[in-house]
A and B are shown apart, each in its own frame.
Chain A
């Protein structure tokens, strides 16, 4: 019995915890914000200028979302490269 206890104690003496902790990289706050809804034209509008203004604003909205999506792809690639460089 004493021998068994001694063997178990010796075996447990080899137990070790993994001390290196890695944090998941934080993405920029601007990228974490959801894209805004597209603007709508006020009901009853008959003026072309109002329609064009809304369409142009929505183009701008799309360009911002496109930028964010492309930046997300860029961010992912860079962070993946950095992550994989640690071995």
Chain B
């Protein structure tokens, strides 16, 4: 990632504090589906008819955009909390953040509420707000609202995604300089705090927001929300970027079943289908009245091994299991090739991804067996482990089945019992997730340091690093290091430790895809963390044509 100048001073690449996309309930189950398609080119995106996207002149205003998404009774609506993709869509439709990410995952002011943002020092950031921004009820947005939002994020009693924020910021660090300027005084150095401000769940709500009345600053105001059914949004004429908002109304419609979602799109009952199953990829691409966009932004599924639970406390076992995986086959079986092979390192979108240049790990049964032999495992003393996945995330189920199958190649030295657990139990406080030695998880794309933080403190899935490691000290150092080259060195050191001793098996990074009616114009295909290019930043810059 190169430094860019969009009125934002920041240092190269690096730290990004984004919130992972959490899904639960029905939407978890449909998160990833494997399907057939030819292996994708290295290119990030694909679509079936580029002409639809050609820089067409902005069209007329009007119409109702119907967006289909998987959702159910668990739908929620909050400026600072999401669980499923349906929740993301609704958040983006109503609220906006100070900064956003461009296609290179650099924080910028485009579509954001900040006019400018400057990192004055590793512990101080100053943000100047746009003039004339109105909330949906007509009141003006000021520094008070920004500070109130960040206070809410910092408040442990509130159900928000702000846990990660508390490492670097306290409520006392929020200073109102004037009605349109806010100062963030960090308690820990973070040279990439601007990326934090671009976290899509750090969206600005009106001061006094209690999570119940959804009043935001976006181009559409909320008319009604019925969980499990749909939400209706009406064009807001007082929007600060009103000229780029075209539809009269947007409806986000829930579907319980992915096939129903796809069918509704084919039958022209909706205009956009978010997160289509890969099984239908080819079918949708072949329809003349539809376009398909695929996105690759570093989301990943993984096997977790807790380095403090037997037998995974033995590094020979961990590395042997990593060598067991035929990653190409797993990519094909689980995602039908819609993804990129992984090398047990996260942070795919980070400029410092795989800073040491490790070669792609391949299945190497003899090497695995050799490692296991060192620890005393053989056919007469096999390594028998249980591996679990929740039943509400399709990709994870396929992953454990594939690994169990691939383990058979050890001819009885490694036996994996793959078990599917019902989602409610698996993710619960005492469930398999994070409480057992060998299980699965999913993440959306983040930069390296952000992910390291999340995996250490928010969701300590592998309990890595061990006590005697310098990993955590390195992490703090890297977060405070402004010099890009020095930071890369530290990151490389951290990655080396994970590559050689870590607890994750990361077989691939998964893509996701959306399908649109050709009636929808202005859709741009570019890398983004969220579907529909961040839901078109609140359904802007797209129109019916």
Chain A bound to chain B: no
B residues near A (Cβ < 8 Å) are none
A residues near B (Cβ < 8 Å) are none
